[in-house]
Structure 1
Amino acid sequence: MGYAYIFGTIFFTVYGQLILKWKIDQYGGLPELWKDKVIFLLQLLLNPFILSGFLSAFVASIFWMAAMTKFDISYAYPFMSLSFVLVFLLSVFMFGEPISLKKVMGVSFIVIGIIVMR
């Protein structure tokens, strides 16, 4: 069951990041004027999808607390780097973000690191 807690942490972390990126991209760039920035950010905060991204961070924290009851942090925490791998892969498919050799190498090192730590 402990690995399910780690998976839940990763799932809700990745969901939150992707949903925030998706909705923020729809709103466009941050305005220049300070007043407009505040209004822009308040509009984002009122978006239900953005709120679900924040809620997912809270849920991820609950899963992480449960995972900490099952594993040493030095064992469990490296698995959290899988969120970087998943966000990278999903951002390519969902947002058309570019793939580069450096990014692929970095993701490969993360995966190798997890395998070595395990």
Structure 2
Amino acid sequence: MSYVFVACTILLTVYGQLIIKWQVLAAGDVPTDGGDKIWFILQLLSNLWIISALIAAFLASLTWMAAMTKLQLSHAYPFMSLAFVLVVVFSSWFFNEPITTPKVVGVALVMLGLAVGSQG
């Protein structure tokens, strides 16, 4: 069950990052004027999608705490690197971000590191 909590933490984290990116793209550039910046941020914070991303971050914290009751931090934390892998893949699908050679190498190194690190 502990690994289910780790997986939930990863998925909730990735969900939050993708939703925030999506909504920030939809909102446009941050205004240059100070007052407009505050209004821009307040509008984002009142956006239901952004609120869902913030709730996901909170829930990710709760599922991580549950995982930590059974797993060693040094064993469980490397699995969080899967969030990086999933964000690379999903940002390519949803936002047409390029998957470059350095990203592929980085993902491969992360996966290799996870495979090695999870052995001990």
TM over 0.5: yes
- Report the Cα distance in structure 1 between the residues aligned to 2:104 and 2:31, rounded to whole angstroms: 33
Residue-by-residue CA offset, 1:11-66 (whole Å, 9 max, x unaligned): 10000000110111001111111111001000000000000000000000000000
Equivalent positions of 1:1-118 (< 5 A) are 1-118=1-118
Task: Quote the offset at 1:6 in angstroms.
Answer: 0.3
Where does structure 1 lack aligned partners over 5 or more consecutive residues? none
Q: What RMSD, in angstroms, separates the aligned Cα atoms of the two structures?
A: 0.5
Among all aligned residue pairs of Structure 1 and Structure 2, give the percentage whose two residues are the same amino acid: 50
What secondary structure is seen at the aligned counterpart in 2 of 1:81?
A: helix
Task: Quote the offset at 1:99 in angstroms.
Answer: 1.4
Task: Quote the offset at 1:98 in angstroms.
Answer: 1.1
- Report the Cα distance in structure 1 between the residues aligned to 2:35 and 2:83, rounded to whole angstroms: 34
Where does structure 2 lack aligned partners over 5 or more consecutive residues? none
- TM-score, normalization by structure 1: 0.98
The code of the aligned residue for 2:66 comes to A
The code of the aligned residue for 2:64 comes to W
- Report the Cα distance in structure 2 between the residues aligned to 1:29 and 1:111, rounded to whole angstroms: 34
Count of aligned positions: 118
Task: Quote the offset at 1:70 in angstroms.
Answer: 1.1
Moved over 2 A (4+): none
- Report the Cα distance in structure 2 between the residues aligned to 1:41 and 1:106, rounded to whole angstroms: 32
